[in-house]
Amino acid sequence: MHQTARDDGNAAAVRLSTLFMPTLRAAQQAGPSKGTLDSPLHEPAEQSLNLLLRGGYIRQSSSGVYTLLPLGLRIVTKIQRIIEEEMEAIGASRIEMPTLLSSSLWRKTGRWTTMGSELYRLQDRRGSEYLLGPTHEEEVTRLVSDDVHSGRALPVRVFQVTTKHRDEPRPRSGLLRTRAFLMKDLYTFDASLEDAAATYEQVRAAYSRIFDRLLCRTGSPSTEYLWNGWKAAEADTGAIGGHRSHEYHMEDAAGEDHLLSCSNTSACTYAANVERAISLPSKAKSLPHGAEEVQVHLFGPAPTSVGKGATDMVTGGTLHAVVVRKNDELNEIKVSKAVADSIPLGVNAVHLWSDTRPEQRAASEWDWVERPEGPLVRFTSLDILLDKACSSLEPEEIEEAVQRAVLAYSSKTPSVPPIEEVQPQLADFFPNQLRANSELPCAAQLPIRNVDLRVAEEGDTCASCGQGTLVQHRAVEVGHTFLLGTRYSDALEVGFAPVANQNATGQNAKPSGRQPFQMGCYGIGVTRLVGILAQRAVAAFDLTQQARDENKHAQSSGLLWPPSVAPFRAIIVVSTPMTPEKEEAVGLLIKKLTTSVLQPDRDAGQVLQESDVLIDDRPNVSLGAKLKDADLIGSSQVVIIGKHWQNTGEVEVREAGKQTVSVPLT
């Protein structure tokens, strides 16, 4: 069981002679993998993983599965403590749900199928199906619905920090992409969508505080910029679903996610995942004015196979003609959302044809012998989605471009006919729409919607402020928030009996009079946070080394953690042998470290607790080896009791990014 992080501020300092910290030298074996730690490393994630292994933070159990050792567990505990404090500040209660989950609820919501190979599935001896939980929406919905029956009991906010499991096909990037990982997930239940939206904003504010606290500065001015790079970005709701979604990213050159943010940072905070980002066309690109300057994509409901050589076509549907500027990339996620309302429930919208890929046409799946009239007969209405970058087009130009695409789609041959030879006319295919008013030309009756459809690019104008340009960043996602609405409470058919003033607009009351819960789910990847913070700790150490040892040729390896998560904030290194005089000096030094004298990170507003002090009192370990291990532990302050103290009574204090200084103990 994962216990709540305890407050050990009054505990004694930790002695390294009794702490399990199995460090490795560069050439030693790192774990079950065949590579050694001095093999060439190029990616920051691999470099930080190398130092986490060498420093005795973690050990690899199997591919994508790691054991936390005491140093790593101390970091995780501090991250959890910050998260727990901020969750409790918004009224959330900590719980712990099982990792082993029954398949029944997952089948009911459909995710047993849609999650596919990501799920670890297993059976017990009786053949009952289970899974190792990657997330807990179904379980928590059942849990709350079993005990919350009245709107008087709402809102409910519960969170947990537990191990999740996903069958990652290719674990990589150290702790950033693993098969078993610690994650904080918060689930909220409200009576109305308005209340749920207010909760969503409260959680977003709590997330801002969490990441600000995690990324507090290291005490070295040269590394400040490393700890300011997190962004909240608008995101697609994806497979989780819901009304709103934000991702929380830490910028990193090795990140797999791409963000676009406004360059006008002094006045605009816009940022979004590239899949979700919107923009105005770049002022450097000309707008299209003719049919030949655009590309047309056709979308519609997917045909369903009903047997060999036959398909069950959805009839009476809408054909969606998507018009974007030539050379712009179409964002199919945006298209899917734009056409969702006209696609039958349970049917997917598919990309039927594009003039950039004319070979992708109905001829490959249509039975032309039995139905020579072609696939266009499935559709009774037309919907034209015009990308905002094409707003300069005249209706006649739009008609020509769509007309050519429609005829090509319904043809056996992949060629796109020249505009002047296009027959029949577009109105012939959709007469009820385009000939509804005989006094107006077809172009004047086109059902055109101006929608943002293209993939936003770096250099585009920011749509939020209209002044800045979009800048692209690579980043690592460390958190995600979803305003779910009633997706899971509807699927599981659960809800509550409303009280007065809880019959919110748009609420779908059940025949029983019960209303579905308005839900939100909010995740933070704790293991992933350790991985990305380690990458920054490596970079911070390298910068401080350059500042401190700029005249030296040899550079050591190490980490410099922010004080909020550092396993220890101060290290006392004692040369061997340990004597009663040195023990007395250690006691005096601890007293000074935990008061205003020699207080590390004084500007960070944090009081150093004795439990955050590590004493390296190991016998039979040289001072040089102890100092190398201190670099791997990553504290911002190292105090040395060695020969200089024996000769002068002064200890040597080494702070991040500064030259070593001598300070008297008395």
* pLDDT band with cut points at 50, 70 and 90 for residue 80: very high
Average pLDDT (348-367) is 66
Full-model pTM: 0.83
**pLDDT (average), residues 140-164:** 97
356 with 435, same domain: the answer is: yes
Report residue 218's pLDDT band, with 50, 70 and 90 as the boundaries. Answer: very low
pLDDT of amino acid 620: 92
User: What's the confidence (pLDDT) of residue 6?
Assistant: 45
**Three-class SS state of 209:** helix
Q: What's the gap between Cα 562 and its chain centre?
A: 22
With contact defined as beta carbons under 8 Å apart, do 434 and 445 qualify? yes
- Residue 147 belongs to a domain: yes
Of 235-249, 296-310, 338-352, 355-369, the range with the highest mean pLDDT is: 235-249
Per-residue pLDDT, 41: 37
In a domain, 253, yes or no: no
Q: Give the residue-averaged pLDDT of 306-315.
A: 49
Task: Indicate if 527 and 584 belong to the same structural domain.
Answer: no
Model pLDDT, residue 357: 67
Sheet holding 317-325, edge to edge: 349-354, 294-301, 317-325, 379-387, 448-451
| Within-domain flag for 37 | no
Same domain as 573, residue 438: no
| More confident site: 658 or 164 | 164
| Close Cβ partners of 227 (under 8 Å, ≥ 6 residues apart) | 215, 216, 217, 218, 536, 540, 562
| Average pLDDT of span 144-161 | 97
Q: Is residue 235 part of a domain?
A: no
Domain final position from 451, 470, 496: 451
Bigger pLDDT: 5 vs 374? 374
Q: Establish if 130 belongs to a structural domain.
A: yes
Query: What is the layout of strands, in order, in the sheet containing 120-123?
Result: 100-102, 129-132, 120-123
Query: Quick one: 523 and 623 in the same domain?
Result: no
In a domain, 4, yes or no: yes
- In whole angstroms, what is the distance from residue 623 CA to residue 575 CA? 5
Beta carbons within 8 Å of 370's beta carbon, 6+ residues apart: none
How many separate domains does the chain show?
3
379 and 321 in a common domain: yes
Contact 275, 236 (CB under 8 A): yes
| Nearest alpha-carbon partner for 153 in 101, 189, 108 | 189
Residues 297 and 441 in one domain: yes
Please give the full DSSP string across 234-265, using - where no structure is assigned. E---TTT--SEEEEEEEE-TT-SEEEEEES-T
Q: What is the pLDDT of residue 506?
A: 47
- pLDDT band, very low/low/confident/very high, at 35 (cuts 50, 70, 90): very low
| pLDDT average, residue stretch 596-617 | 73
Contact 299, 349 (CB under 8 A): yes
Most confident of 21-35, 172-186, 544-558: 172-186
Beta bridge partner(s), residue 641: 574
Tokens in use for 365? 């799946």
Give tens-digit pLDDT for 53-79. Answer: 999 999 999 999 999 999 999 999 999
Residue 549 reports pLDDT greater than 70: no
> Does 495 or 244 have the greater pLDDT score?
495
Q: At what angle do helices 526-548 and 70-89 cross, to 10 degrees?
A: 110
Q: Identify the CA nearest to 516 among candidates 148, 91, 112.
A: 148
73, 207: one domain = yes
DSSP three-state, residue 432: helix
| Same structural domain, 166 and 299 | no
* CATH number of the CATH domain containing 148: 3.30.930.10
Q: Quote the pLDDT of residue 57.
A: 98
Regarding whether 212 and 148 lie in a shared domain, the answer is: yes
Given this model, what pLDDT does residue 363 score?
47
Q: What is the mean pLDDT of residues 383-392?
A: 92
Which residues contact residue 25 at a Cβ distance below 8 angstroms, ignoring those fewer than 6 apart?
37, 54
Quick one: average pLDDT of 370-374?
Answer: 71
CATH number at residue 657: 3.40.50.800
pLDDT of residue 555: 63
Per the model's pLDDT, the better-predicted residue between 549 and 594 turns out to be: 594
Flag whether pLDDT at 539 surpasses 80. Answer: yes
Place of tokens 């009952």: 128
Between 381-385, 413-417, 458-462, the lowest mean confidence (pLDDT) is in: 413-417
pLDDT at residue 393, as a whole number? 92
**Mean pLDDT along residues 302-314:** 51
What is the average per-residue pLDDT within 271-288?
85
Residue 142, token pair as written in the block: 């059942």
Query: Which tens digit of pLDDT belongs to each residue from 95-132?
Result: 999 999 999 999 999 999 988 899 999 999 999 999 99
Is residue 160 one of the residues assigned to a domain? yes
| Burial call 342-362: b when 16+ CB within 10 Å, e when fewer | bbeeeeebebbbbbeebebbb
Query: Do 182 and 294 have their domain in common?
Result: no
Rg (CA), the chain: 31
Q: Do residue 635 and residue 488 come from a single domain?
A: no
Which structural domain range is residue 347 located in? 287-451
Share of the chain above pLDDT 70, in %: 81
- What confidence tier does 195 reach under pLDDT thresholds 50, 70, 90? very high
What letter would DSSP give residue 294?
E
pLDDT at 553 over 50: no
- Coil/strand/helix, residue 646: helix
**Mean pLDDT on 442-459:** 91
pLDDT given for residue 509 in this prediction: 56
Distance (Å, whole) CA 109 – CA 492: 7
Specify the pLDDT at position 602: 47
Tell me how far apart the alpha carbons of residues 113 and 106 are, in angstroms, rounded to a whole number.
8
Q: Give per-residue pLDDT as tens, 476-517.
A: 999 999 999 999 999 999 999 998 766 554 455 555 678 999
| Alpha-carbon gap, residue 520 to 481, rounded angstroms | 8
Residue 603: the pLDDT is: 43
Same-domain pairing of 153 and 207: yes
Give Cα 580 to chain centroid, integer Å: 52
In a domain, 272, yes or no: no
Quick one: pLDDT at residue 448?
A: 93
Percent of the chain with pLDDT over 90: 53
User: How high is the mean pLDDT of the chain?
Assistant: 85
